Amino acid sequence: MENILILVLLGVAYVATGGILWFVLDQRYGNKLSEARRQLREQSEADFKKRWQAERERLDTEQAEIKQQQQNLEQERSQFDSEIQAQQVLRAQLEAEQTALNQAREQLAGLSPEAAREELFKRLRTDLATEVSLELRDHEQQLKARRDELSQEVLTRAVQRVAVNHAREQMAFCLDLPDTSWRGRVIGKEGRTVQALQAATGADFSLDDESPSVWISSFDPWRRELARRTLTSLIENNRLHPARIDEEVKRQEKALNAELPRLGEDAAVRAGVHGLPPEILLTLGKLHYRRSFGQDVLNHAVEVALLAAELARQLHADVEIARRGGLLHDLGKALTGAESTESHTQLGVQLARRCGESEAVLHAIAAHHGEEEPTSVEAVLVQIADTLSAARPGARSEQLAKHVQRLGQFEKIALGFTGVTRAWVLRAGKEVRVMVDPDEVPENRVRPLASEIARAISQEMQGPQQVKVAVIREIQATDYAR
C-alpha cells in the first residue's frame, strides 16, 4: 500500500513539474512566437496589396490603350466612310458628265448610241494596233540583239572548253645517225642506196654536212612516215643495203596499215564516240595521214566532234548525233583519189550508210559543206563546228600566216603613239597591252590613249574579232634605309 502511495505521489510530482516547465516556456517564448506570427501576417498582407495594386495599374493601362485604339479605329472608319461618300459623289458627277457628253455627241453627230460605240471602238482598235506594232518592233530589235549576244556566248564557251593542240607538222623530219660513218652508208656506192630509198619510199633524203643526220622531206605524210620508219629500222638492224630496202619498205608499210584501226579507235575515244564498225575505224586511221591546207584531218575531225557536242549541249540538242556526225563528217577524204569522180562528202555518206549509221548522222555528213540543205539542228551544228575548226587561228597554213601578220600590225600601231615604250599581243590577238613612259604620258592621258589606240586598230585592221587595249603606266621609286 505504501508503494502505491509512493508511486502516486511521484506521478503527481512529475505532472506538477511538467506544468511548471510548460508555464515557464510559455512565458519566455510565447510572446516571441506571437510577434513573429503577427509580423509574417503583416508582411504577407503588404506583399499581396502591392501585387494587387500593380496588377490593377497594368489592367488600367491596357484598358486605356484599348480605348485609345477604339477611338483611332472609329476615326479611321469615319474617314473611310467620308472618302467612300466623296468617291460616290465624284462617280455620280462623272457619270452625269459622261451622260451629258454622250448626249451632246449624239446631238452634234446625229449618231445613235450603237453607232457612237462602234466609232469609239474603231478608234481604240486603231490606236491599239499602232501601239502593238511599235511594241512588237521594239521587242524584235531586243530579241535580235539578244540573239547575237547568246550566239556569241555559246560559240565562245564551246571554243574555250574544247582546247585542241594546233601545232602543225613540218614537211621535213630530221633523223640522227649513230655516227658520221653512217653518212657514207646512207649514200651508198655512187649514191645507189639513197636513190633506192627515194625510189622505194617516194620521199627526199638530204644529208647534213655538219652533223650526222638525215633530213627526210615529203608533202605526203604517209610517205614521210614510211621513209622515216624504213631508214630507222635498217640502221637499227644494220641492214642498210639497196637489196634490203624494198623488203623493209613493204614490211613497214604493212605495219603502218596494221596501225590504222588503232589510230581510228584512239581518235574515237578522244572524241567520245563508241561502237564504230571496223571499216570506219580503219578509214579514220587513214585520215591521220591526210592534210587539208596543212591541217591534220583526223585531229580536225576530233575537234569538230568535240565542238559540235559542246554546242549541242549548250543548245539542248542531241549531243550524240552531233558528236558522231562531227567525227565522221570528213570520212570520205580518206577515200578520194585521182580516179574518184565523187566528192568526199558523197563518199563519206556512202561508207557511213554501208556501215549502218543513222539517217541523222548521214544528213549531218552530207550537209556539212552545203551540198545538201541542213534540216536538223545537229547538221547545222556540225557545219558550224567544221567552220570554227578550219578558221581557228593557227589551224591551217594560210590562216596562220595572215594571223601572225595581223598580230604584228597590232604592235606597230600601238608603238606609233607618243610615249609608248613597249607593246605586245596576248590571248591570240584578243588583247593588246601597252607600256608607256610615265614622264611623257601623264596619268590623265592613260584612258584617252587607250581609246585612241583602240580606235586606230579598229580603223586600220578590219575584222570580226574584238580587241581589248590595256595601257599600263608604272612608276617605281627606290630608296635605301640607313
- Give me the phi and psi of 74, to 5 degrees please: -60, -40
| Model pLDDT for residues 184-212, shown as the tens digit of each residue | 888 888 778 887 887 678 777 888 777 78
The Cα–Cα gap between 217 and 205 comes to 7
CB 230 within 8 A of CB 252: yes
User: Helical H runs in 241-314?
Assistant: 242-271, 278-287, 297-314
Q: How many CB atoms lie within 10 A of CB 320?
A: 16
**Parallel, antiparallel, or unpaired: how do β-strands 431-436 and 468-473 relate?**
parallel
CB 337 within 8 A of CB 344: no
This prediction's pTM = 0.51
Instruction: Tell whether 185 and 250 lie within a shared domain.
Output: yes
CATH number at residue 468: 3.30.300.20
Tell how far CA 472 is from the center of its chain: 29
The Cα–Cα gap between 22 and 9 comes to 20
- The number of domains in the chain is 3
Q: Which amino acid is at 200?
A: A
Instruction: Tell whether 386 and 405 lie within a shared domain.
Output: no
Provide the pLDDT for residue 104. 62
- pLDDT tens, the chain, 482 aa long: 677 878 877 877 877 787 777 776 666 666 677 777 788 888 888 888 888 888 888 888 888 888 888 888 888 888 888 888 888 888 888 888 888 777 766 665 655 667 767 777 777 788 788 888 878 887 777 777 666 666 555 555 555 556 555 545 556 778 888 888 888 888 888 778 887 887 678 777 888 777 788 888 776 788 788 989 998 998 888 888 888 888 898 999 999 999 999 999 999 999 889 889 999 999 999 988 887 766 788 888 898 898 888 888 888 889 899 999 999 988 888 887 645 678 888 888 889 999 999 999 999 999 888 788 888 889 888 888 888 777 665 555 555 445 556 766 887 888 889 888 877 665 556 777 787 888 888 888 888 888 888 888 888 766 656 788 888 887 766 666 76
CATH number at residue 220: 3.30.1370.10
Q: 3-class DSSP state for residue 433?
A: strand
By the 10 Å C-beta count (0-12 exposed, 13-18 middle, 19+ buried), 217 is classed as middle
CATH number at residue 292: 1.10.3210.10
Instruction: Tell whether 227 and 247 lie within a shared domain.
Output: yes
The Cα–Cα gap between 212 and 206 comes to 11
Residue 119 lies in a domain: no
CB 383 within 8 A of CB 330: no
The Cα–Cα gap between 122 and 114 comes to 12
Structural domain for 313, as ranges: 272-391
CB 199 within 8 A of CB 166: no
List CB contacts of 229: < 8 A, sequence separation 6 or more.
252, 255, 256
